[in-house]
Amino acid sequence: MLLFSFEGGVLSSIFVRNINKRSMSVLVNKNSKVIVQGFTGSEGSFHAQQMIEYGTQVVGGVTPGKGGTLHLEKPVFNSVEEAVQKTGADTSIIFVPPAFAADAIMEAAEAGIKVIIAITEGIPVADMMRAKPYIKERGCVLIGPNCPGVITPGEAKVGIMPGFVFKQGRIGIVSKSGTLTYEAADQVAKAGLGVSTAIGIGGDPIIGTSTKQAVELLMNDPETDAIVMIGEIGGNYEAEAARWIRETGNKKPVVGFIAGQTAPPGRRMGHAGAIIGGADDTAAAKMRIMRENGILVAESPAEIGATMAKALGVTA
């Protein structure tokens, strides 16, 4: 059994928890009990319905003031604490407006939720600076904010991704971009492969789980044979992950791609965190660092599947 520990053992504990639910799993699976914060709003309603139809075990939702009612044939609660007490929920997905989203994250952590997936984009940085240490102290994993979520194909979709794109298989995906997560999954499928778990870590300046931490989860998952790592300009997440991969022995093949190859210095491209602030923040520099650390780099998203097939020695 492969175990690991970082950030005070937070992600290690989540990994162990899922070992007991399935032969092995990363973050979410068919046994995850999911609540939706912001359940009765338009976004929460739409995506909750999609998750339910996918087969995710959505056990209810939270909308203050609407507790005691039913929505999408699921119970609505006034608080996360009440939802956890009544349903045994262990996972939450958040569709709460930016001004209130950090409080929603902390409420979930306080109630004992262990996997928190924040879809909300544009949460104020000052709010996230309060929320991040708060959840760490309580042994939670936060994915996002500003992310597409997490999917274990055929088991659970806790996010906004189109589920039909993701075919079951043994390739893990870690991505800062939602649309590139979907593109990578499609390219992997076209190469005759499939996905074990895809983790969209989010593109805001402060996020709960870094590229390295998500890659580490997949490196230690026996159901994952190889990893697609998608990054973008700005920050050092990809370089940190690439160096960690080399330091730990390149245990599994990794295919990398960096978005924003034509971005000029100082220009934000797409995500709030995607801005070139130094020489190592450019796409070219990140691609070079990836190659130096044994990662196969795809020059375009259309090459991800073929590059992965090459890495595994299979015919795409």
Q: Which residues are catalytic?
A: 271
Name the 3-class secondary structure at 258.
strand
Residue 212 φ/ψ, nearest 5 degrees: -60, -45
Query: What is d(CA 255, CA 310) in angstroms, rounded to the nearest whole number?
Result: 10
Distances (CA, A) of 185 to 10, 157, 161: 28, 14, 11
Give SS3 for 190.
helix
Q: What does the alpha-carbon distance between residue 282 and residue 239 come to, in Å, rounded to a whole number? A: 11
Question: d(Cα 311, Cα 256) in Å, to the nearest integer?
Answer: 11
How is residue 210 written in tokens?
């870094």
Rg of the chain taking only CA atoms, in angstroms: 19
Long-range contacts of 309-315 (CB under 8 A, 24+ apart): 309/191, 309/192, 309/193, 311/226, 311/253, 311/254, 311/255, 312/193, 312/225, 312/226, 312/253, 314/191, 314/192, 314/193, 315/192
Question: 191 and 306 in contact (C-beta within 8 Å)?
Answer: yes
Residue 50's Cβ-count burial label (10 Å; 0-12, 13-18, 19+) is: middle
Q: Looking at the chain, how many residues does it have?
A: 316
Place of tokens 């245990």: 251
